[in-house]
Amino acid sequence: MIIFPAIDIIGGQCVRLVQGDYATAAKVAENPLETAKKFEAAGAQWIHMVDLDGAKAGYPVNTEIYRQIAEQTHLKVEVGGGIRTLDTIKAYLELGIARVILGSAALKNPQLVADAIREFGSEKIVVGIDAKNEMVATEGWLETSNVYYLDLAAEMIRIGVRTIIFTDISKDGTLSGVSTAQLKKLAEATAGQCNIVASGGVHTIDDIVICRDLGLYGTIAGKSLYQGTLDLHEAIQIADSMQIRPMQIADYDALFALWTACGNGLNNLDDSREGIARYLERNPSTSFVAVENGVIAGAILCGHDGRRGYIQHMSVSPEHRRRGIGTKLLARALEALKAEHINKAALVAFKQNEIGNAFWERMGFSLREDLNYRNLALAEMIRTDPEY
């Protein structure tokens, strides 16, 4: 589970509200960029940011702050507040924002959500569902609708949304604990269809454990971090329920199902049970699986010939994506190769695709267009950095 430290902005200042009431805005930190850097130093990979001025105005107001954080940290930044048009979404993404949050638009303009997903992909678009007494609120929580939060979630999933942030407004900024009952109903209603992020009420590490055990994708923490009732580094450690372990031939059925679900190019020889058994016998310590609650969520099949490493397959199940699993698997595989004195690694038998290419290039692999390996690969990316 991902922990998202939160920074809300009014007038360029880091603030927190109580139950969405702008009159309760209290400054909690001096400088947004320096605060973000402290979160990064504690181990955060993502940061959740809300333009509260923008949420009220209906258009972005504090854009420069988000640009600075995206450019001057390694954090993946998600931003919400006042995002009402495709042009605004595009402008944020061009600034280096990892993904944008659509809140009021989800209820008032679902066509915008559908168009945004079609234009930019579900990886870049998150829907925020904020509720008072389980009914959806909009316009910076200043208006309450007659739409039930689970009904809106179902509609968003239908049009292609794959990540939802749910906030129980009565809990937000209160340090009174997460809304367990509502989160449980939402997690059960959306299981296998959408990632759920909890927001509002986080107080202590117990709330992190509750959200982790509900199988949520992430939890947003704000006031608890600023008031010191929650330690970010500890929360990140507790939230990580994913186990990375060496691959075994006993994993084969689950692996084959994973590869098929991910659309991997497979062949009857190397990717058969017998082929994988031979591969693991030759390279017993360089392939890994990511397991959560007994389910294989991702896998990397990696070996070497004594000179160069080869990554044959690297997949993360659709239900577990956007959680950094691919990064963790790759790090373990490269570490294992380095332990065997292999300082170069190549991808083989990978289909070229925009998301995959972006991931591998971000990890330091360079792209070559001149390889077609067994008619399966449209690209090879070679990493030559001996220090990985």
Report the percentage of the chain scoring pLDDT > 70: 87
pLDDT, residue 173, reads 72
The reported pLDDT for the residue numbered 62 is 93
Exposure string over 149-174, b if 16+ CB within 10 A, otherwise e = bbebbebbbebebbbbbbbbbbbbbb
What number does CATH give the domain 243-383?
Answer: 3.40.630.30
One-character DSSP codes across 211-262: HHHTT-SEEEE-HHHHHTSS-HHHHHHHH---EEEE--GGGHHHHHHHHHHT
- For the chain, domain boundaries: 2-239, 243-383
pLDDT of residue 375: 36
Domain 2-239: give its CATH code: 3.20.20.70
Assessment of whether the complete model's pTM goes beyond 0.85: no
Tell me which residue of 8, 6, 1, 3 sits closest to 43, measured CA to CA: 3
Query: Is 130 among the residues known to form the active site?
Result: yes
DSSP labels, 45-101: SEEEEEEHHHHHHTS-S-HHHHHHHHHHSS-EEEEESS--SHHHHHHHHHTT-SEEE
Spatial neighbors of 82 by CB under 8 A, at least 6 apart, are 51, 53, 54, 55, 56, 57, 58, 59, 60, 61, 88
- Please state the φ and ψ torsions of residue 105, each to the nearest 5 degrees: -60, -30
- Of the candidates 8, 53, 172, 271, the residue annotated as catalytic is 8
| 53 belongs to the catalytic site | no
* CB-based contacts of 27, cutoff 8 Å, min separation 6: 13, 14, 15
Taking 70 as the pLDDT cut, the residues of the chain under it are 19-20, 138-145, 265, 293, 321-323, 349-356, 366-388
Exactly one of 51, 130, 168, 271 is catalytic; which is it? Answer: 130
> How high does pLDDT run on average in the chain?
85
